[in-house]
Amino acid sequence: MALKDCSIWVCANKAPQLGFATFQPSSSRPSVNLKHGLEKFCKWECCCLRVLSPRALTPIEDEKHVVAGVDESSLNDDVVEVQLSELEGPHKDVNLLTKPLMANEFSSSDGGAKLRVAYKGLPGAYTEDAVLKAYPKCETVPCEDFETSFKAVESWLVDKAVLPIENSVGGSIHRNYDLLLGHKLHIVGEVQLLINHCLLGLAGVRKEDLKAVMSHPQALVQCKKMLTDLGIAKISVDDTAAAAKAVLLKGRKDIGAIAGSRAANMYGLDVLAEGIQDDDVNITRFLILARDPRIPGNDRPYKTSIVFSLDEGPGVLFKALGAFALRNINLSKIESRPLKQSPLRIVEDLIDERAKYFEYLFYIDFEASMADPQAQYALENLQEYTKFIRVLGCYPVDKTDTSD
Ligand SMILES: O=C(O)C(=O)C[C@]1(C(=O)O)C=C[C@@H](O)C=C1
């Protein structure tokens, strides 16, 4: 059993309902000055409790060569989904690459001091690029799906997880918004990555030889123009590196993959075309998740991500957003998602007798730090119109150059 700290975002006006996370004091992690942090937070506080919890224990073993279908396939009407087990055969070299963490492997950790960061996909996926951009010296831990990467952090198997949240061409990755709410992790950072897609094939293949191309649904959407010009079938798989690996293992000269140049190197494929995305400025934004929240500062530009559901009534969303507008706080993102547990709201209506509305959750990113009193006042004001509100995290804005 290891001693853990629990961090809870608290609003002084209402019961603490704003998120929950845990962290383990470690020599490699700078200790958090809670007293100092609490002073800064005023009403929206992040306080820590001490609890006992089991420590993660087992190494990552075993690979199941089955990649489940992806739910974003609805993005592409004409995309075929495949199980990679249908395409794979044995291959000595690629089996030496790191094996993905499976959902049933949550019992241990090597106790090593090196930062371990989970991501969904195989080695060579763009999300791994994002992990390495944020933590160049970390150990990357591939996971079979997003849920597994969340659980890996929650069960202390890894320190952090990185997941894609939106792309400048393909838009939001809705499932990951839902996962943020379903788990207790905190957003502690963001990474913006320029995605430069390549068309990959077996050595010696020309792009005219291809009859089908495999990739992640977002990548297929981002390269729609080129794929339409080539007039070839699209096959949706779990991630771009999985597509590259499948092309290699299947040994098919008529199937290509859309992936990054790092995946081409890793899986020994030729780059048949580069920069094949519809838009040159093709940027994916990733979130970094951790068990404990980051203590917000004023030392550089910060962003705060929140989620809330609204009270009933006309103009409530307008009033809710006014809480930020009145304080000159810029909103950089707004996303609405259905409130799955109670999707419909039935309201008495004098004219129609009964009216039904869909219930929504609103995810908002605003450009201010929780250390800024204006942000705290804005959240206090927002609370007048909300049924539920949770601070998902306050973190520095990624201002690094995405031009290469
Ligand atoms: O397939 C990969 O390589 C991923 O890391 C996933 C992903 C995504 O989910 O959007 C990441 C970046 C690109 O936008 C395309 C695919």
ipTM of the complex in this document:
0.98
Query: Looking at ligand 1, which atom is closest to the CA of residue 193?
Result: 12
CATH 3.40.190.10 correct for 57-293: yes
Res. 313 pLDDT band, cuts 50 70 90? confident
Q: Is the CB of 167 under 6 A from ligand 1?
A: yes
Residues found in the chain: 404
pLDDT at 51 over 60: no
Distance 165 CA to ligand 1 centre (A): 10
Distance 168 CA to ligand 1 centre (A): 12
Write the class of the CATH domain 2-54+296-396.
alpha beta
Distance 240 CA to ligand 1 centre (A): 7
Distance 197 CA to ligand 1 centre (A): 10
* Token reading at 330: 């810029």
CA distance 225 to 276: 9
**Strand, coil or helix: what is 270?**
strand
* Residue 286 designated active-site: yes
What is the tens place of the pLDDT at every residue in 373-401? Answer: 999 999 999 999 999 999 999 999 998 87
pLDDT at 123 over 50: yes
The half-sphere exposure of 341 on its side-chain side, counting CA atoms within 13 A, is 5
pLDDT at 55 over 60: no
pLDDT of 5: 34
* Residue 284 designated active-site: yes
Q: Number of H helices and number of E strands within the chain?
A: 10, 23
pLDDT of 106: 55
Place of tokens 């930020």: 324
Evaluate whether 212 touches 235 at the Cβ level (below 8 Å): yes
Domain residue ranges of the chain, discontinuous segments joined by +: 2-54+296-396, 57-293
Distance 126 CA to ligand 1 centre (A): 5
Question: From atom 14 of ligand 1, which residue's Cα is the shortest distance away?
Answer: 284
Helices (H), 155-213: 174-182
Q: Average pLDDT, stretch 14-19?
A: 28
Q: Is the CB of 60 under 6 A from ligand 1?
A: no
Q: What is the dihedral of CA 267, 238, 224, 87, to 10 degrees?
A: 60
- Residue 141's Cβ-count burial label (10 Å; 0-12, 13-18, 19+) is buried
Q: Is the CB of 122 under 6 A from ligand 1?
A: no
Give the mean pLDDT of the chain: 78
To test the ligand 1 pocket, which listed residue (140, 239, 402) has its Cβ within 8 A of the most ligand atoms? 239
* Token reading at 244: 């590259």
CA distance 130 to 145: 16
pLDDT at 244 over 90: yes
* Annotated catalytic residue within 148, 284, 304, 402: 284
pLDDT of 64: 30
Q: Is the CB of 220 under 6 A from ligand 1?
A: no
What is the tens place of the pLDDT at every residue in 190-214? Answer: 999 999 999 999 999 999 999 999 9
Res. 22 pLDDT band, cuts 50 70 90? very low
Res. 67 pLDDT band, cuts 50 70 90? very low
Residue 19 CB partners (closer than 8 Å, separation 6+): 8, 9, 184, 186, 293, 390, 391, 392
